[in-house]
């Protein structure tokens, strides 16, 4: 690099994404407690709990939203139902549909569940009917009618020997169905609102039901009557009976008997004693003022919508209205893991923690999320975010400023002074001594931070502003502090950016105004090395300004819409900008050009932040996606070079295997390289050996399933080229002959591949047909012509050989002459060969009379050739006369007659002069 220029220019590639995986609906956890199954539109996603990653996803081909799903109790089968009234059975580990059938329901399926044996599936429809399916024998066993409205709950009794099914619909009753008689034996009436969940005791004689009417009912299933109704004072969405043989004294379980835990609209877990109806434990203390606010809110994002029990690991899983999945550990109900299913619009993102191991995300909700990049596990707070190590700042819509200790993740300070929403906040750069906020009230405030702010304590520090300045005429969208903490920049909707001094007794003094943008300014940022300020605007441009004379140094144009964020990277020699067009652009300042455009989002990229080492960055968009980008450094280039060297070594190994005729290993290695031409080379080598068909068949059939799938894909490519079509057809013959259609159709894209083979195969067949037709015409011409320049002893015209060009030899008998009978046989041969000629040949009608005269002349005259010896042709026609002639030849051979084979070659380098037979 040149002196004064950057030492290392960066170029980023996407490393990982945090995408929505749950947008509401049913949630189920596998029996082995390793996976969470949840719906996301037209997909069911499988989340691995240990890593927080989506490892599998199944989706209906029609891309209709999935209305319900059920995982079997043995974790083997997954069945989904879509709005298209189609039920699909999945091998979810392979993401393959193994069976699909039409639901008999006339409207979408609202609920479904498996029995404990994983052989019966119950579906409750919006049409008020319940169907039971035998998933092994694949037929409908029951059609239960009588429910009113949507059947939103179906559940089998855990004791399968009782053959009982419970259901609930809009009439708020719990129906008990006897499956042996297909009759509803009773309706349990207690709730006055929708029944949301059922939980059974270990002996199966007691059941607890929950409802949105703010009560839970304990049922005696022997007498089928309510034992107790418990008022829980919240709409309950989930209830779980706690195990009786565990020490749960930490959550208030101090007596024997049944206890259950509830989750509902208050967003907390509470433990109840079934015998007395008392609440013995509340997860968090809620003030009376907060309780009043919660009662007024029907859509509190903290409310819980599902509660699931994980008995093997003694955990509980709760699902919130904001699509977060929380795992609690018994017996203390301590938070173990939190997963965010849906972020909604991402407004800002920042790196956090040592080595930038976490990212903090602000969305348009009242919750703040801190993700651990390694596991995608999340800590959920309240508020919107800015960031400054080691403290995490955030602003909220009620005009307050809160600060969180990034290690302890709890609020340590709070300030209230702005009269409108706070739009931007930044902290001092050298040490955490002050912070600056900009608001929609057009003011900029500087806040002093106490020195013991990070000390853990019960009290929250109350912040007071040391100075307030009326900075702009419109909303303040962005504020930034210079690297030396002496300057402050602000950008506003009034199209101007301003430079302020922070020196002195805490007063803010205006130094200058940056004018030039045609629309409002969204972001301001100081260069880390130069006396330069960067601004972005809704006019689609990014500008660099001199801090000395406030002049515009450079203008970067390239975004099609508003430029929302800007950061300096590569020691101040490059810029990263993000815009409303969903693009992130990397600019080199010296050349004033965009060197890379990163396209990873479908909507406004509000969040953009680079790590301290510039080795990675993170972006957040209004499309709810968060993308982590890493720099393509020499390490990545070295890895790419190592991959290339590895491929070279594999090519050498492949050559050795072919030389040693180890074709199976060679074919497997070629497929692993994913190079169709290399695989074709191995196929051609196999087809060149003796018994190639048998060898090819054995080799292909020994391949693994995934290797056969790749081979089928390669055949489609080879078949498009006439040069390689024979090799493709040879492999296809093996696959289509020996593999059952069910296996072939399981290959990824098999239908498209097989459909792609048809037109090219038909084209090859037509081409071969035309060649065969042309060769038959040449055969006919050869039969009707003789070579010019024959010996003068040929006094008489002779019949030409009827042997096809593929076998140009004659049988010459030196002992026996040709009689008139032989000539008549040859005449028959001529007429037969005429039937095989090209029907489009125009020579047939013109030479018809000549053919008749020739045959008559040949039958009345004995032609003598080569010292008076007669000739006889050995054709390939299979007429009766020819067969009898061959029998006579065999008899002559038995009489020691000598037969000599003479190979007669045709000249091909020059055009022979031919003479047509004349009468």
Is residue 916's pLDDT more than 90?
no
pLDDT, residue 284, reads 73
pLDDT, residue 705, reads 86
pLDDT, residue 453, reads 64
Is residue 244's pLDDT more than 60?
yes
- Exposure string of 355-373, with b = 16+ CB inside 10 Å and e = fewer, is ebebbbbbbebbbbbbbbb
pLDDT, residue 391, reads 34
Rounded average pLDDT over 474-479:
94
pLDDT, residue 640, reads 66
Residues 299, 273: Cα–Cα separation, whole Å: 28
Q: Is residue 709 within 8 Å of residue 717, measured between CB atoms?
A: no
Q: Which of 447, 556, 555, 426 is nearest to 491 (CA)?
A: 426
Task: Report the SS3 class of residue 804.
Answer: coil
DSSP string covering 514-577, please?
A: E---SS-EEEEEE-SSSSEEEEEETTSEEEEEETTT--EEEEEE--SS-EEEEEEETTTTEEEE
Is residue 300's pLDDT more than 80?
no
pLDDT, residue 786, reads 58
pLDDT, residue 454, reads 57
Q: What is the pLDDT of residues 736-782, one digit of tens each?
A: 888 888 888 888 888 888 888 888 889 889 988 888 888 888 888 88
Is residue 654's pLDDT more than 80?
yes
- Higher-pLDDT residue of 793 and 559 is 559
Which structure tokens are listed for 18? 């945090």
pLDDT, residue 639, reads 67
Q: What is the pLDDT of residues 324-377, one digit of tens each?
A: 999 999 988 998 888 988 888 888 898 887 778 888 888 887 778 888 888 777
434 DSSP β-pair partners: 448
The dihedral through the CA atoms of 431, 437, 438, 444 has a sign that is negative
**What backbone torsions phi and psi does residue 91 show, to the nearest 5 degrees?**
-90, 90
pLDDT band of residue 231 (cuts 50, 70, 90) is very high
Q: Are strands 552-557 and 153-156 parallel, antiparallel or unpaired?
A: unpaired
Residues 6+ apart with CB under 8 A from 287: none
Which structure tokens are listed for 123? 């579906």
- Exposure string of 152-183, with b = 16+ CB inside 10 Å and e = fewer, is bbbbbbeeeeeebbbbbbebbbbbbbebeeee
Q: How far is CA 471 from CA 228, 266, 401, 434, 841, in A?
A: 64, 42, 19, 18, 96
pLDDT, residue 633, reads 62
Q: Is residue 177 within 8 Å of residue 136, measured between CB atoms?
A: no
Residues 586, 595: Cα–Cα separation, whole Å: 6
Q: What is the pLDDT of residues 883-912, one digit of tens each?
A: 444 444 444 444 443 333 333 333 333 333
- Higher-pLDDT residue of 770 and 826 is 770
Q: What is the pLDDT of residues 308-336, one digit of tens each?
A: 999 999 999 999 998 999 999 998 899 88
SS3 of 353-394: the string is CHHHCEEEEEECCCEEEEEECCCCCEEEEECCCCCECCEEEE
Q: What is the pLDDT of residues 526-568, one digit of tens each?
A: 999 999 999 999 999 999 999 999 999 999 999 989 999 999 9
Task: Report the SS3 class of residue 591.
Answer: coil
269 DSSP β-pair partners: 263
Rounded average pLDDT over 132-147:
91
- Higher-pLDDT residue of 471 and 850 is 471
Q: What is the pLDDT of residues 256-273, one digit of tens each?
A: 889 999 999 999 999 999
DSSP string covering 848-905, please?
A: HHHHHHHHHHHHHS---BTTTB--B-------HHHHHHHHHHHHHHHTT--EEEEE-P
Q: Is residue 469 within 8 Å of residue 444, measured between CB atoms?
A: yes
**Four-CA torsion 842, 848, 854, 860, nearest 10 degrees:** 160
- Higher-pLDDT residue of 388 and 624 is 624
Residues 535, 566: Cα–Cα separation, whole Å: 7
pLDDT, residue 798, reads 43
Is residue 874's pLDDT more than 70?
no
Cis ω for the linkage preceding 540 (within 30 of 0): no
Residues 443, 441: Cα–Cα separation, whole Å: 6
Rounded to the nearest 5 percent, the helix, strand and coil shares of the chain are 20, 35, 40
Is residue 111's pLDDT more than 90?
yes
- Higher-pLDDT residue of 449 and 727 is 727
The mean pLDDT of the chain is: 79
Q: Is residue 274 within 8 Å of residue 228, measured between CB atoms?
A: yes
Which structure tokens are listed for 590? 């010296």
pLDDT, residue 8, reads 52
pLDDT band of residue 19 (cuts 50, 70, 90) is confident
Is residue 7's pLDDT more than 50?
no
pLDDT, residue 838, reads 41
Q: Which of 860, 841, 861, 857 is nearest to 849 (CA)?
A: 857
pLDDT, residue 64, reads 84
Which structure tokens are listed for 289? 């003022």
For 631, other C-beta atoms within 10 Å of its C-beta total 22
Would you call 130 exposed, middle or buried from its count of C-beta atoms within 10 A (0-12, 13-18, 19+)?
buried
Give the DSSP letter of residue 160: G
Rounded average pLDDT over 225-246:
92
Is residue 687's pLDDT more than 60?
yes
Q: Say which residue the tokens 């008559």 belong to.
A: 856
DSSP string covering 426-457, please?
A: EE-SSSSSEEEEEETTSEEEEEE--TTTTS--
- Higher-pLDDT residue of 374 and 813 is 374
Rounded average pLDDT over 385-405:
43
Element (H, E) at 105: none
Residues 534, 555: Cα–Cα separation, whole Å: 10
Residues 16, 51: Cα–Cα separation, whole Å: 13
Is residue 390's pLDDT more than 60?
no
Is residue 791's pLDDT more than 90?
no
pLDDT, residue 462, reads 81
Q: Is residue 478 within 8 Å of residue 491, measured between CB atoms?
A: yes
Q: What is the pLDDT of residues 413-424, one digit of tens each?
A: 788 888 888 888
Is residue 204's pLDDT more than 70?
yes
The number of angstroms, rounded, from the C-alpha of 524 to the middle of its chain's C-alpha atoms is 38
Task: Report the SS3 class of residue 214.
Answer: coil
435 DSSP β-pair partners: 427, 447
pLDDT band of residue 405 (cuts 50, 70, 90) is low
pLDDT, residue 793, reads 45
pLDDT, residue 70, reads 96
Is residue 611's pLDDT more than 80?
yes
């Amino acid at each position: 690099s040149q002196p004064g220029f950057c030492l290392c220019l960066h170029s980023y590639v996407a490393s990982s994404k945090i995408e929505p995986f749950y947008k509401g609906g049913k949630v189920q956890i596998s029996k082995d407690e390793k996976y969470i199954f949840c719906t996301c539109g037209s997909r069911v996603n499988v989340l691995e709990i240990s890593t927080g990653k989506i490892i599998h996803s199944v989706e209906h081909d029609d891309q209709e939203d999935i209305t319900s799903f059920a995982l079997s109790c043995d974790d083997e089968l997954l069945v989904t139902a879509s709005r298209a009234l189609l039920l699909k059975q999945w091998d979810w580990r392979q993401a393959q549909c193994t069976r699909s059938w039409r639901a008999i329901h006339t409207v979408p399926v609202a609920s479904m569940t498996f029995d404990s044996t994983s052989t019966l599936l119950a579906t409750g429809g919006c049409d008020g009917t319940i169907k039971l399916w035998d998933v092994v024998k694949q037929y409908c066993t029951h059609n239960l009618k009588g429910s009113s409205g949507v059947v939103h709950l179906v559940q089998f009794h855990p004791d399968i020997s009782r053959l009982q099914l419970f259901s609930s619909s809009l009439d708020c009753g719990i129906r008990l169905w006897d499956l042996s008689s297909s009759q509803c034996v009773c309706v349990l009436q207690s709730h006055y609102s929708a029944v949301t969940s059922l939980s059974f005791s270990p002996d199966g004689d007691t059941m607890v039901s929950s409802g949105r009417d703010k009560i839970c009912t304990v049922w005696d299933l022997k007498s089928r009557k309510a034992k107790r109704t418990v008022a829980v004072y919240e709409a309950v969405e989930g209830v779980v009976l706690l195990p009786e043989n565990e020490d749960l004294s930490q959550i208030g379980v101090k007596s024997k008997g049944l206890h259950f835990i509830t989750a509902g609209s208050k967003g907390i877990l509470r433990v109840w004693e079934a015998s007395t109806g008392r609440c013995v434990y509340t997860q968090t203390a809620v003030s009376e003022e907060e309780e009043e606010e919660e009662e007024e809110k029907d859509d509190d994002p903290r409310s819980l919508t599902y509660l699931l029990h994980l008995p093997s690991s003694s955990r509980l899983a709760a699902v919130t209205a904001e699509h977060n999945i929380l795992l609690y550990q018994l017996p203390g109900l301590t938070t173990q893991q939190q997963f965010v299913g849906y972020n909604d619009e991402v407004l800002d993102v920042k790196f956090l923690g040592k080595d930038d191991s976490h990212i903090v995300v602000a969305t348009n909700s009242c919750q703040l999320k801190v993700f651990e990049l390694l596991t995608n596990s999340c800590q959920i707070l309240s508020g919107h975010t800015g960031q400054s190590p080691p403290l995490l700042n955030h602003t909220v819509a009620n005009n307050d400023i809160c600060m969180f200790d990034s290690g302890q993740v709890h609020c340590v300070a709070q300030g209230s002074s702005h009269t409108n929403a706070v739009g931007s906040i930044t902290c001092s750069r050298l040490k955490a001594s002050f912070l600056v906020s900009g608001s929609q009230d057009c003011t900029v405030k500087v806040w002093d931070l106490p020195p013991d702010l990070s000390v853990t304590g019960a009290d929250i520090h109350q912040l007071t502003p040391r100075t307030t300045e009326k900075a702009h005429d419109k909303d303040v969208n962005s504020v930034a502090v210079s690297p030396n903490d002496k300057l402050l920049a602000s950008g506003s909707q009034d199209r101007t950016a301003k430079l302020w001094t922070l020196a002195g007794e805490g007063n803010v003094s205006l130094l200058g105004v940056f004018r030039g943008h045609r629309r409002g300014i969204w972001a301001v940022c100081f260069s880390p090395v130069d006396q330069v300020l960067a601004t972005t605007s809704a006019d689609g441009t990014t500008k660099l300004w001199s801090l000395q004379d406030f002049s515009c140094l450079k203008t970067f144009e390239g975004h099609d819409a508003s430029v929302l964020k800007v950061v300096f990277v590569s020691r101040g020699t490059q810029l990263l900008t993000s815009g409303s067009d969903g693009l992130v652009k990397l600019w080199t300042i010296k050349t004033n050009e965009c060197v890379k455009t990163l396209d990873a989002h479908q909507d406004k990229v509000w969040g953009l932040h680079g790590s301290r080492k510039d080795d990675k960055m993170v972006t957040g968009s209004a499309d709810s996606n968060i993308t982590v980008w890493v720099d393509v450094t020499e390490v990545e280039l070295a890895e790419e070079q190592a991959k290339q060297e590895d491929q070279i070594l594999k090519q050498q190994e492949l050559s050795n295997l072919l030389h040693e005729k180890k074709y199976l290993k060679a074919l497997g290695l070629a497929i692993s390289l994913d190079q169709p031409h290399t695989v074709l080379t191995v196929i051609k080598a196999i087809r060149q050996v003796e018994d190639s068909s048998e060898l090819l068949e054995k080799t292909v059939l020994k391949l693994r399933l995934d290797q056969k799938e790749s081979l089928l894909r390669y055949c489609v490519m080879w078949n498009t080229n006439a040069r390689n079509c024979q090799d493709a057809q040879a492999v296809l013959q093996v696959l289509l002959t020996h593999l059952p259609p069910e296996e072939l159709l399981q290959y990824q894209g098999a239908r498209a591949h097989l459909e792609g083979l048809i037109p090219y195969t038909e084209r090859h067949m037509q081409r071969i047909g035309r060649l065969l037709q042309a060769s038959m015409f040449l055969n006919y011409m050869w039969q009707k012509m003789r070579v010019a320049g024959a010996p003068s002893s040929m006094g008489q015209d002779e019949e030409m050989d009827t042997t096809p060009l593929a076998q140009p030899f004659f049988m010459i008998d030196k002992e026996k002459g040709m009689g008139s009978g032989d000539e008549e046989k040859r005449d028959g041969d001529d007429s037969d060969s005429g039937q095989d000629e090209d029907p489009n040949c125009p020579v047939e009608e013109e030479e018809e009379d000549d053919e008749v005269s020739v045959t008559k002349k040949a039958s009345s005259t004995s032609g003598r050739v080569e010292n008076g010896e007669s000739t006889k042709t050995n054709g390939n026609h299979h007429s009766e006369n020819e067969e009898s002639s061959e029998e006579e030849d065999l008899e002559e051979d038995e009489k020691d007659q000598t037969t000599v084979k003479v190979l007669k070659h045709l000249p091909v380098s020059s055009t022979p002069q031919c003479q047509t037979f004349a009468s």
